[in-house]
Amino acid sequence: MITLYLHEQKRGNRRPDGMKKASGRLQYLTDLNQEGQLYGAVKRAGMPHAVLKQVDIDEARALPGVHAVLTAADVPGWNGFGIADPNQPVFCTDHIRYEGDAVAAVAADSPETAQAALNLIRIDAEPLAPLDSPAEALKPGAVHLHPEGNVLHTTAFHHEDLDKAWEHCRWIVEETYETPRQMHGYMETEGGLFLPEEDGSLTVHAPTQHGYKDQMQLARILGWHEAQIRIVSSPIGGSFGGKDELNVQPYGALLALHTGRPVKIHQSRQESVRAGLKRHPMQIRMKTGLDQHGRIAAHEVDILSDTGAYATLGGPVLQFATEHAVGAYRMGAVRVNGRAVYTNNGVAGEFRGFGGNQVIFALEGQLDRLADKSGIPPWELRKRNLRRMYDPGPLEQEVAPNNGPRDVWEAVQRSLLWQKPKRSRSAEEPWLVRGIGVSLAMHGSGLGYGIPDPAGGELRLTKDGRIEAAFGHEEFGQGLLASLQEMMLDHFHCTKDDIRLTIGDTSLVPPSGSSTASRSTNMMWQALQRMVPGWKKQLFTAVQQASGVPASRMETGPGGIFRMEGGTQQELLLSYQEAAALADITEAVSFHFPVTPDPIIGGHYLYGSTAVITEVEIDQRTGAVQVLEAEHVVAAGGVVYPIGYLGQIEGGSVMALGFTLMEDTVMEGSVCRTPNLDTYLMPTIQDVPGYQPVQAVETLPPGDDYGPRGVGEIGSVALAPAIAEAVYQASGVRVERLPIDREVLVDETAWMTAAEGETIG
Amino acid sequence: MTTSMKTTPLEINGTTYQIEASPSRRLVDILRHDLRLTGTKVSCEVGRCGACMVLVDDVPHNSCLLMMYQCEGRRIETVESFPEEDALTQAFVEEGALQCGYCTPGMMISLRGLLRSGRAETKEALMEGLSGNICRCTGYGGIHRVLDKITEEGLS
Amino acid sequence: MTMTKQQVWRPWTLQEVVSLTGQLDGRYCFTAGGTWLRTQWEAGTLEEPEHLIAVDRVPELQSGAAVQENYIEIGAFTTLTDVLEHPAVLAKLPVLVEACKQIAAPSIRHQATIGGNICTRTGDAVPALLVYDAVLLWYGSDGLEEESLEAWLMRETEEERLLTAVRIYDAPEEVDDVVFALKSGRRETFIPSQVTVAGRLRIDPQGNVLAAAIACGGGSAVPKRMPKTESLFCRSSTRKLFPALMHDEIKREYDPPSDVFASAEYKKRVAANLIVGEWYRKGRDHAVST
Ligand SMILES: Cc1cc2nc3c(=O)[nH]c(=O)nc-3n(C[C@H](O)[C@H](O)[C@H](O)COP(=O)(O)OP(=O)(O)OC[C@H]3O[C@@H](n4cnc5c(N)ncnc54)[C@H](O)[C@@H]3O)c2cc1C
Ligand code: FES
Ligand code: FES
């Protein structure tokens, strides 16, 4: 186990994109410009629900400086996009389903002219009552948002006889939890540059988490072959799942092809908030019972997910939530039912944690309430119910042996923070109360059973003498390039200058699947494991022919291939560049993310685990909650790139802090009331604990050769319930809704009575 | 008195540019659009994120809030005017104070402004100085470590 | 997205301002730092006017903070940073200092002016200025006029005159015994206020309150003085705090509107808690020292 914090991380940071970013020299895709470019802009519906009758673009078209105004009639292929189900129209035809729905797009000489043209587009529409909650959308007679009705997806998982199981329960807790419409809040809003090429093809420079998926989706919209489209998709100014789906790409592509000119689009924050994806708000009812030994005998869950106007990944997110509503615990009887319901509330989609964050808040909340009720200490209660190494997974599926939950549980026992008194009140300022809470979670890696989860990569020796690793993954800040570099250095014992990392460009990289679901690091690790031996064999064989030294006596090293003797490096045989002249040395691999053999949709095979201890302070004058400490334990296999690992946990944790304390896209009648960063609040440097100690449990069960699990999401999944418990310890108030409403925490009784009519002393 | 379109001399990174624009044009548009100085980022356009921070007469300002007429006769410095490698950029990389890097130019400008003002002595002052810069990726852990380096090791 | 067709006028004198406002007949707006205006324009809550009259060149607005015989004057075009750094303000107006420190973030305070903050009517400096009985100096077609801040806030007519300065007469010789300016929003810092309170108390050595000035505001509520609460304070002593009584009085007197983020009831309670909290603090100090 290693502790990653303070300055103990001495390995240094060699992230390849570091200096360019620190100096502001890195060009993002929204920074690109091209001679002769036009400026694209999208006309959004601006109303949440309506029958669209007509879009009048004549005046806009006539405006000097306007080169194109496009509507649904101008989409040559499929007028829709969506990773799982392409039911979001590129341009609306007859039904407006949310404020951000696109009805037209313009290309003009300047951003100002494009904006002026948008203002001249008239939308003739008949407003409909907004379906502003799943409850409204489920009412009989509610307008159908899609042909299949208003239910996008349902899940059902049953294990053992739940109805009977209640009889064995001594303590039962039933509660309904609600979670907010969190925004990804990537600092770089959506945009890019779209270039029609001379050979008739199209180059798209726009952020995405899966270039090949964008290529497929755009080809479908344009009615083209995928090979005609090149997607350049990195670097990215943040994504967190939010840029996995298409956003401005359809408009940029159509406008560029229509005008034959380069088109630049960069959405404003306001447009980004109104049009972009959010985390699914979920209403989660849980009823959970303990038997007299403190074992969870019965667990019933209903999940109602507000998926917004279109499908995107609403189904898979619900699936994930269903599995994680059981999580790391073994239970007697279980019934989980989930529904993802269409509404007019924007569009909910993929977001770091993928539906786990919501149900983990609820599940851990149940354990804390049951601990209270039964008198079994909360941490002890968890231990009694945690899965063991060889237990099946949450959906009773076969999983890789996994002791992560118990490992992190043990580590918490040793934490000094956890040993502090659970609550206290300030003597000088009696309105300040403190509390400590802890929670635990297990989080699946990969997309789960039934969802294509392909991986692949290529290793090449380039003519200029570099070992090139090419992956179809993306760099959005998570440090993928740095992790890849570290792994390459480990494999080849060479220098940074000997390697080349190629990502984010469909013309240069093989398909590798998406950069989501905490899978990229693991996929690259596995791909390298598979490719390196074969690649080295090819290389050494070629060098053997040239040098006469047997291949078995060779190893790669700084600058080239060395002769080895007894494990130590002798003379340089050939430089990489010389070796590259001998033969074409390329190794490619494609495979599938490890998946459970049991055909249970959404079931995972690999998991990471985490526990979080937190201390909060509540100001009972205002109900403000300040997180003073957050200590994390993470079991996710080996640490490839320490400062990157640490950064993922710190960043994920602060995102969870925002989710818990302040972030929510407030909708009134399906109209967004928090359209910019002055009303949609994200944590500042003053809202966060400065140091968040992170302990990494690196041990994996014997025989586990799946490599490091990703840690992109796990830092964000377990803080909310820990804060909720700490708030309870401090104030005695249980919170079921996030973000925590300050109004319920205002409490003047303690210090008012202390001072009533008397001098204090 | 001034009217409509106008040519205004602006001193940016030591060069005087003659900008022909409405005097109410935002500095962020002049930088990113007219001069293609895209090191200055844009994210909220209402002063709430700090991505667009520049120095005006040595002091941090949000370039989305400044109009051209307000910049006349003043010295503007963007991230491009600072070296690619110095102690501060190195500290950012080493301590993991950046991930996607989109907030970083703004953070750097705020910090450089503070360091120049000589008011960067305490961690509190530094944190206060960065309170208008939002970072969504790092959770500020790496940034805290950089601030410690500044206060403890006198990095400048 | 911004419109960039505006004309910007930059008059040098008060007379020029008046003749411009006459000519432009309501199709203009004054801009100082422009920080508040930009947020309104971007959000679409205010239309960008055809003409901007920039007030940055008029010398009367530029005086910074100046100490006169019986008043401190702060020019309307003084940035919040300059307000915070002025020795006279630091020495004599601690409530204003506390209030300004909590406005926005440093980069905004370098540009935002005290005049702009006042003219928005809901700025966080306003409660602090109210407890100093601040007086506003206006320049319009009738020449220079003085009006108390409190009276101006109560009038709801649209202001056409130019604010040249704010004056605080009889700035306290010694610092008051209790001074506070507290703000509560939805996060720790850099946050629009939900509740802002400001106060000054004079207390004799026996703990009797001799004078009290209290103001509340925040969010879209136009800040106001709290005369009933002040009078209750003036009948109180730190020997016996009666916090519940004070709490009730404040909640009765302060009447903010609800908004999407907080109820009126919450804002009342927070205002009461913040004020009574300071009172409690003083009572505790008193108990410790006697
Ligand atoms: C990111 C951000 C955060 C903010 N945070 C806060 C905060 O925490 N607390 C707070 O109180 N405010 C806050 N504000 C609002 C604003 O910045 C302040 O109120 C500031 O003091 C306004 O000053 P200004 O010079 O920029 O005003 P401007 O925007 O120039 O003007 C504001 C209004 O006053 C009028 N006006 C300005 N000067 C004069 C004059 N001399 N005579 C007559 N009318 C005049 C203008 O016509 C306009 O109606 C914030 C703004 C931003 C952008
Ligand atoms: S873009 Fe200027 S502060 Fe956000
Ligand atoms: S590094 Fe991405 S926003 Fe700060």
Nearest Cα neighbor of C217 from C51, C56, C102 is C102
CA A235 to chain centre: 17
CA pair distance C277, C269, nearest whole angstrom: 12
The model's confidence at residue C3, banded by pLDDT at 50, 70 and 90, is very low
CA B30 to chain centre: 15
Is C82 a member of any domain?
A: yes
Helix locations, A414-452, DSSP H = 416-419
Whether chain C has a CB inside 8 Å of the CB on B131: the answer is yes
Ligand 3 atom nearest residue A237's Cα? 2
| Mean pLDDT of the A183-201 span | 98
Same domain, C197 and C256: yes
Radius of gyration of chain B from its Cα atoms, rounded to whole angstroms = 16
- Per-residue tokens: C43: 């959000």
Ligand 1 atom nearest residue C111's Cα? 26
- Per-residue tokens: A572: 């340089």
Is C157 a member of any domain?
A: yes
Nearest Cα neighbor of A506 from A263, A234, A198 is A234
Q: Of all protein residues, whose CA lies closest to atom 3 belonging to ligand 2?
A: B47
Which chains does chain A touch, 3 or more C-beta pairs < 8 A? B, C
CA A649 to chain centre: 13
Rounded to the nearest angstrom, the distance between the alpha carbon of B18 and the centre of ligand 2 is 24
The residue among B140, B143, B148, B155 with the most chain A CBs within 10 A of its CB, best to mutate, is: B140
Whether chain B has a CB inside 8 Å of the CB on A626: the answer is no
Residue C138 in contact with residue C145, Cβ under 8 Å? Answer: yes
- Is ipTM over 0.90? yes
Domain A279-448+599-751 bears CATH identifier 3.40.50.300: no
| Mean pLDDT of the B113-137 span | 94
Q: What is the pLDDT of residue A270?
A: 98
* Count of alpha carbons within 13 angstroms of residue C140, beta-carbon side: 11
β-pair type (A202-205, A191-196):
antiparallel
Q: What's the length of chain C?
A: 290
The dihedral through the CA atoms of A197, A202, A207, A211 has a sign that is negative
Q: Could C39 and A678 be called an inter-chain contact, meaning their C-beta atoms sit closer than 8 Å? A: yes
Nearest Cα neighbor of A390 from A400, A380, A378 is A400
| Mean pLDDT of the A137-156 span | 97
- Measured between CA atoms, how close is B154 to chain A, in angstroms? 16
Whether chain B has a CB inside 8 Å of the CB on A192: the answer is no
Domain B87-153 bears CATH identifier 1.10.150.120: yes
Ligand 2 atom nearest residue A677's Cα? 4
Rounded to the nearest angstrom, the distance between the alpha carbon of B106 and the centre of ligand 2 is 9
Phi, then psi, of C209 in degrees rounded to 5: -75, 125
- Measured between CA atoms, how close is B51 to chain A, in angstroms? 8
Which chains does chain C touch, 3 or more C-beta pairs < 8 A? A, B
Instruction: Report which of residues C65 and C236 the model is more confident about.
Output: C236
A-facing residues of B in 132-151 (CB < 8 A) are 132-145
Residue A606 in contact with residue A705, Cβ under 8 Å? Answer: no
Q: What is the pLDDT of residue A9?
A: 46
Give the C-alpha distances (Å, rounded to integers) separating A657 from A626, A661, A667, B25, C187.
Answer: 10, 6, 21, 37, 11
Same domain, C119 and C192: no
- Measured between CA atoms, how close is C87 to chain B, in angstroms? 17
Give the C-alpha distances (Å, rounded to integers) separating B39 from B14, B43, C105, C276.
Answer: 16, 13, 22, 49
Q: Of all protein residues, whose CA lies closest to atom 4 belonging to ligand 3?
A: B135
Helix locations, A245-348, DSSP H = 249-259, 269-275, 314-324
Rounded to the nearest angstrom, the distance between the alpha carbon of C113 and the centre of ligand 2 is 19
CA pair distance B7, B18, nearest whole angstrom: 6
Q: Is A225 helix (H, G, I), strand (E, B) or coil?
A: coil
CA angle (C247 as vertex; C242, C249 as ends), nearest 5: 100
Question: Please, what is the angle between helix C243-253 and helix C264-289, to 10°?
Answer: 150
Domain edges within chain B: 6-81, 87-153
Q: C134: domain range?
A: 59-169
Token pair 């300004």 is found at C100
Q: Is A619 helix (H, G, I), strand (E, B) or coil?
A: strand
Nearest Cα neighbor of A621 from A758, A529, A747, A466 is A747
Question: What percent of chain C is predicted at pLDDT more than 90?
Answer: 85
Helix locations, A463-575, DSSP H = 480-492, 520-547
- Measured between CA atoms, how close is A623 to chain C, in angstroms? 9
A-facing residues of B in 28-87 (CB < 8 A) are 32-33, 36, 38-46, 48-49, 51, 78-80, 82-85
Phi, then psi, of A584 in degrees rounded to 5: -90, 110
Helix locations, A548-641, DSSP H = 576-582
CATH code of the domain containing C18: 3.30.43
The topology (CATH level 3) of A454-592 is Aldehyde Oxidoreductase; domain 4 (3.30.365)
pLDDT tens digit string along A620-650? Answer: 999 999 999 999 999 999 998 899 999 999 9
Q: One-letter amino acid identity for B123?
A: K
Same domain, C190 and C94: no
CB atoms within 10 A of CB C171: 17
pLDDT at C1 exceeding the cut of 90 = no
Question: Please, what is the angle between helix A480-492 and helix A520-547, to 10°?
Answer: 30
Nearest Cα neighbor of B142 from A715, A192, A5, A527 is A5
pLDDT tens digit string along C179-194? Answer: 999 999 999 999 999 9
Q: What is the pLDDT of residue A422?
A: 96
Residue C33 in contact with residue B23, Cβ under 8 Å? Answer: no
pLDDT tens digit string along B6-40? Answer: 899 999 999 999 999 999 999 999 999 999 999 99
pLDDT tens digit string along A18-51? Answer: 999 999 999 999 999 999 999 999 999 999 999 9
pLDDT tens digit string along A152-186? Answer: 999 999 999 999 999 999 999 999 999 999 999 99
Whether chain B has a CB inside 8 Å of the CB on A6: the answer is yes
Phi, then psi, of A730 in degrees rounded to 5: -70, -40
Give the C-alpha distances (Å, rounded to integers) separating B54 from A267, B42, B82, B83.
Answer: 22, 11, 12, 15
Q: What is the pLDDT of residue A369?
A: 98
| CB A18 less than 6 A from any atom of ligand 3 | no
pLDDT at A258 exceeding the cut of 90 = yes
Q: Is A538 helix (H, G, I), strand (E, B) or coil?
A: helix
Same domain, C263 and C199: yes
Is C1 a member of any domain?
A: no
Q: Could A240 and B136 be called an inter-chain contact, meaning their C-beta atoms sit closer than 8 Å? A: yes
Phi, then psi, of A319 in degrees rounded to 5: -60, -45
Whether chain B has a CB inside 8 Å of the CB on C45: the answer is no
CA pair distance A118, A60, nearest whole angstrom: 7
Whether chain C has a CB inside 8 Å of the CB on B150: the answer is no
Q: What b/e sequence results for C207-244 when a residue is b if at least 16 CB atoms lie within 10 Å of its CB, and e otherwise? A: bebeebbbbbbbbebebbbbeebbebbeebbbeebbbb
**Nearest-CA residue of chain C relative to A111?**
C1
* Count of alpha carbons within 13 angstroms of residue B1, beta-carbon side: 12
The dihedral through the CA atoms of A106, A109, A114, A117 has a sign that is negative
The region of weakest confidence among A457-471, A507-521, B24-38, C74-88 is A507-521
Q: Could B131 and C106 be called an inter-chain contact, meaning their C-beta atoms sit closer than 8 Å? A: yes
The residue among A42, A618, A752, A753 with the most chain C CBs within 10 A of its CB, best to mutate, is: A752
Whether chain B has a CB inside 8 Å of the CB on C123: the answer is no
Whether chain B has a CB inside 8 Å of the CB on C120: the answer is no
Give the C-alpha distances (Å, rounded to integers) separating C283 from A236, C131, C183, C206.
Answer: 56, 21, 22, 11
Q: Which of B45, B50, B67 sits opposite C34 (nearest CB)?
A: B67
Q: Could C43 and A676 be called an inter-chain contact, meaning their C-beta atoms sit closer than 8 Å? A: yes
pLDDT at A516 exceeding the cut of 80 = no
By CB neighbour count within 10 A (0-12 exposed, 13-18 middle, 19+ buried), where does C184 fall? buried
Ligand 2 neighbours by CB, cut-off 6 Å: B 42-45, 47-52, 62, 64
Q: What is the pTM of this model?
A: 0.96
CA pair distance B27, A249, nearest whole angstrom: 28
Q: Could A22 and B94 be called an inter-chain contact, meaning their C-beta atoms sit closer than 8 Å? A: no
All residues at 6 or more sequence positions from A340 whose CB lies less than 8 Å from its CB, including other chains: A151, A152, A153, A154, A280, A305, A307, A314, A315, A317, A318
Q: Which of B46, B128, B132 sits opposite C42 (nearest CB)?
A: B46
DSSP string, C99-152: HHHTSS-HHHHTT-BHHHHHHTSS-THHHHHHHTT-EEEEEETTEEEEEEHHHH
Residue A478 in contact with residue A518, Cβ under 8 Å? Answer: no
Same domain, C45 and C93: no
CA angle (B85 as vertex; B81, B86 as ends), nearest 5: 90
Out of 3.10.20.30, 3.10.105.10, 3.50.50.60, 3.40.50.300, the CATH code matching B6-81 is 3.10.20.30
**Nearest-CA residue of chain A relative to B25?**
A112
Could you tell me where in chain A the CATH 3.90.1170.50 domains are found?
Answer: 32-128+184-277
Q: One-letter amino acid identity for A458?
A: E
The model's confidence at residue A440, banded by pLDDT at 50, 70 and 90, is very high
Question: What percent of chain A is predicted at pLDDT more than 70?
Answer: 97
Q: What is the pLDDT of residue C215?
A: 98
- Per-residue tokens: C128: 């602090």
Q: Which of B89, B103, B132 sits opposite A19 (nearest CB)?
A: B89
**Nearest-CA residue of chain B relative to C20?**
B1
Q: Could A620 and C273 be called an inter-chain contact, meaning their C-beta atoms sit closer than 8 Å? A: yes
Out of 3.90.1170.50, 3.30.413.10, 3.90.280.10, 3.40.250.10, the CATH code matching A32-128+184-277 is 3.90.1170.50
- Which positions in chain A touch C122 (Cβ < 8 Å)? none
Q: Which of B88, B130, B136 sits opposite A186 (nearest CB)?
A: B136
| CB A477 less than 6 A from any atom of ligand 3 | yes
CA pair distance A687, A204, nearest whole angstrom: 38
pLDDT tens digit string along A353-399? Answer: 999 999 999 999 999 999 999 999 999 999 999 999 999 999 999 99
Q: What b/e sequence results for A374-411 when a residue is b if at least 16 CB atoms lie within 10 Å of its CB, and e otherwise? A: bebebbebbbebbbeeebebbbbbebbebbbbbbbbeb
Show which residues on chain A lie within 8 Å of chain C, measured between beta carbons.
111-112, 115, 268, 270, 428-431, 620-624, 626, 661-662, 666, 668, 673, 675-676, 678-679, 681, 683-684, 686-687, 742-743, 746, 748, 751-752, 755-761
